Amino acid sequence: MLPNAARVKSVGEAAEIAAVQGRSLWSDARTRFFKNKAAVVSLIVLILIGAFALFGQFIAQYERDTVDFTLMGANAYQGVPSIETGHYFGTDSSGRDLFARVVQGTGISLMVGMVGAFVAVMVGTLYGAIAGYHGGRVDGIMMRIVDVLMSIPFMFVLILMLVIFGRSIFMLFLGIGLISWLDMARIARGQTLTIKNKEFVEVAHAIGVSPFRIILRHIIPNLLGIVVVYATLLVPSLIIYESFISFLGLGVQEPNTSLGALISEGASNMAYGVMWQLYFPLLFFVLTIFAFFFVGDGLRDALDPKDR
Amino acid sequence: MLSFVVRRLAVAIPTLLILVILSFVLMYAAPGGPFNSERPLPPEVLANIEAKYGLDQPFWQQIVNYVWRVVTAFDFGPSFQYKDRSVNDIIAQGFPVTLTYGFWSFAVAVVVGVSLGIAAAVRQNSWLDYLAVGITVGAQVLPNFVMAPILLLLFTLWLGWLPGGGWNGGQWEYLVMPVIALSTSYMASIARITRSSMLEVLNTNFIRTARAKGLPMRRIIWRHAMKPAILPVLSYLGPTFVAMITGSVVIDIFFSTGGIGQFFVNSAFNRDYSVIMGITILVGALTILFNLLVDVLYAWIDPKIRY
């Protein structure tokens, strides 16, 4: 067995060298992506926003839940954003530092978006790949279930769930995850249908690889491109969902906050001359969504051979 | 065609039934009844009230009764919170409002979106195209709950042109802002879809043939390119319709229009389960019906689809 193992090792090394020299699908895609200026700028914006959410608390002069009682009733002219007072983004209506709150809100919104997208993509891809690979009756039943779930007005069911089982971030994740894997399942199934008739799957089948292993090792890696694109485009729409729910007061609960909750608060105080309470969360919301859309578009142009 | 509709209905009815049962089970599983309050009622009184609303019966009896009432009489039962009104009364009050601005928003989103998309595709890479793409990209990041406060700022606080809220029987001044807020982001999506599918169709061989024969551009677009280009838009109409109804929640909060969304959110906070369920089921039924309509339309336009 030893010489055999040595040979495998050298073949592995040879493959490595070839990979460095050759132009793989991914390196091609990378070149294409970095040629797209809008996508690259958006990627930088996204990294900055991420850094803001992660490290913003170290810049903030106040804790996010410290209430400044001296501002009560005088918010409109004393809680104004300014560098001197240390309230860079001003204060909210309870006299809390808005900068620290926006930092946390951005963080939670990003987390909900990314974790939600991750869960949805995992479940959806696996489900779609299994349905597509098996075909026939299994496929029929699995996709019929997706059809049925899709025609349920999920926003209403989600609100119902949040009311009944209490408002928690876990419930929010569960509910949003339940909505969003459906599209992914459809896309993954469609791709699997074309992949499963390719020779390499046939070969794997012929040498007796188990169906589950074929799906995991041979089909899903080939779905990766479209999955990545879909995931980046899913994140902003999940952030919008979460903001919608938090806007209604059913999502993230005090003292925690998210961009949707902050926008809602700012919008309801609009008439009292404290516009900054709306401007700053709105700015971060719009920037984040924009950046994700552009990066997603850039990735699609780079990875999806159809639209080239 | 008829058998296609019948078959689709055969799927739609179990879907609806699943929705009814799902929401009923959720409601039943909820900890605490609608009559548990800070000041506990004497047990006899509570028993009487529960008997009045049929809550003392076993689970299966309740669910069968509920489904039966909904199916045969379209009766969603009494509201738990407003003692003098039934769920049907509440729906009858709020739903016409939601339907009115929902319909206008839908119309605006489709008409403006499709026109913008076609204009951009026909004049690709002109200033019109760039303008349209700019608008659609900008509008994408403006969901209704962001759009609504911006509109209020602009038209009510700064310009003072439009009333800040209310319904007033649906006069146009009261309709403008809800419709814009609700339709913008969907208008943008529809424009984007129309533009890309129109571009794809305009690059096909049969369009080139039509142009080579010397047909005027107007005729090519309306007679030849329109039908295939509109198909992807059609399949987007279902989600758009759902969003118009769901968006009611936001519109009613911002503009105090008194539609169904306001009742839904209030009931959600008051644990008025029967109202929540009634509205969920109604919206579900409408969604399913609308999707069916879109499918039939799709099959009618696209001869490649067999039914």
Compute the nearest-CA separation of A147 from chain B (Å): 9
Contacts of B148 in chain A (CB under 8 A): 267
B140–A282: do the CB atoms touch at under 8 Å? Answer: no
pLDDT at residue A307 in the model: 45
Sequence-distant (≥ 6) Cβ neighbours of residue B166 within 8 angstroms: B174, B255, B256, B257
Please compute the mean of the pLDDT values over residues B217-226 and round it to a whole number. Answer: 86
User: How wide is the angle at C-alpha A121 spanned by C-alphas A168 and B193, nearest 5°?
Assistant: 105
Compute the nearest-CA separation of A155 from chain B (Å): 7
Report the b/e string of A57-82 with b at 16+ CB within 10 A: eeebebebeeebeebeeebeebbebe
Banded pLDDT at B106 (limits 50, 70, 90) = very high
Count other Cβ atoms within 10 Å, centred on residue B190: 26
Sequence letter at residue A273: G
Left (φ > 0), alpha (ψ -120 to 50) or beta: where does B271 sit? left
Tens of pLDDT along B174-184?
A: 888 888 888 88
B280–A263: do the CB atoms touch at under 8 Å? Answer: no
Tens of pLDDT along A67-94?
A: 766 666 666 666 666 666 667 777 777 7
User: What rounded mean pLDDT belongs to chain A?
Assistant: 78
B291–A151: do the CB atoms touch at under 8 Å? Answer: yes
Banded pLDDT at A180 (limits 50, 70, 90) = confident
Instruction: Please tell me which residue of chain B has the smallest CA distance to A144.
Output: B11
Contacts of A286 in chain B (CB under 8 A): 141-142, 146
pLDDT at A198 over 90: no
The encoded tokens of residue A228 equal: 């990545």
Using CB atoms within 10 A of its CB, is residue A103 exposed (0-12), middle (13-18) or buried (19+)?
buried
pLDDT at A16 over 80: no
Tens of pLDDT along A34-52?
A: 887 788 888 898 899 888 8
Look at residues B281, B291, B257, B307 and name the one whose alpha carbon lies nearest to residue B27: B281
Report how far apart the first and last C-alpha atoms of chain B are (Å, whole number). 7
Q: What is the ipTM of this complex?
A: 0.70
Q: Do residues B4 and B300 lie in contact, with contact meaning Cβ atoms separated by under 8 Å?
A: no
Query: Whats the size of chain A, residue-wise?
Result: 308
A271–B287: do the CB atoms touch at under 8 Å? Answer: no
pLDDT at residue A305 in the model: 54
pLDDT at A308 over 50: no
Please compute the mean of the pLDDT values over residues B104-118 and round it to a whole number. Answer: 91
Banded pLDDT at A3 (limits 50, 70, 90) = very low
A151–B153: do the CB atoms touch at under 8 Å? Answer: no
Please compute the mean of the pLDDT values over residues A250-279 and round it to a whole number. Answer: 78
Q: Determine what percent of chain A is predicted with pLDDT higher than 90.
A: 1
User: How wide is the angle at C-alpha A113 spanned by C-alphas B189 and A97, nearest 5°?
Assistant: 110
Sequence-distant (≥ 6) Cβ neighbours of residue B176 within 8 angstroms: B155, B162
Q: Which of A163, A247, A253, A277 to mutate to test the interface with B (most CBs of B within 10 A)?
A: A163
Nearest to B15 among A148, A240, A244 (CB): A148
pLDDT at B92 over 80: yes
Judge whether A271 is closer than 8 Å to chain B, CB to CB. yes
Instruction: Please tell me which residue of chain A has the smallest CA distance to B158.
Output: A271
Q: Determine what percent of chain B is predicted with pLDDT higher than 90.
A: 4
Widest CA span in chain B: 87
Q: Do residues B167 and B258 lie in contact, with contact meaning Cβ atoms separated by under 8 Å?
A: yes
Tens of pLDDT along A138-158?
A: 888 888 788 777 767 777 777
pLDDT at residue B109 in the model: 92
pLDDT at B111 over 90: yes
Which domains are present in chain B? 87-305 (1.10.3720.10)
pLDDT at B27 over 80: no
Which domains are present in chain A? 25-62+85-307 (1.10.3720.10)
Dump the DSSP string for B233-299.
Answer: HHHHHHHHHHHHHHTHHHHHHHH----HHHHHHHHHHHT-HHHHHHHHHHHHHHHHHHHHHHHHHHH
Look at residues A148, A147, A153 and name the one whose alpha carbon lies nearest to residue A189: A147
Sequence letter at residue A271: A
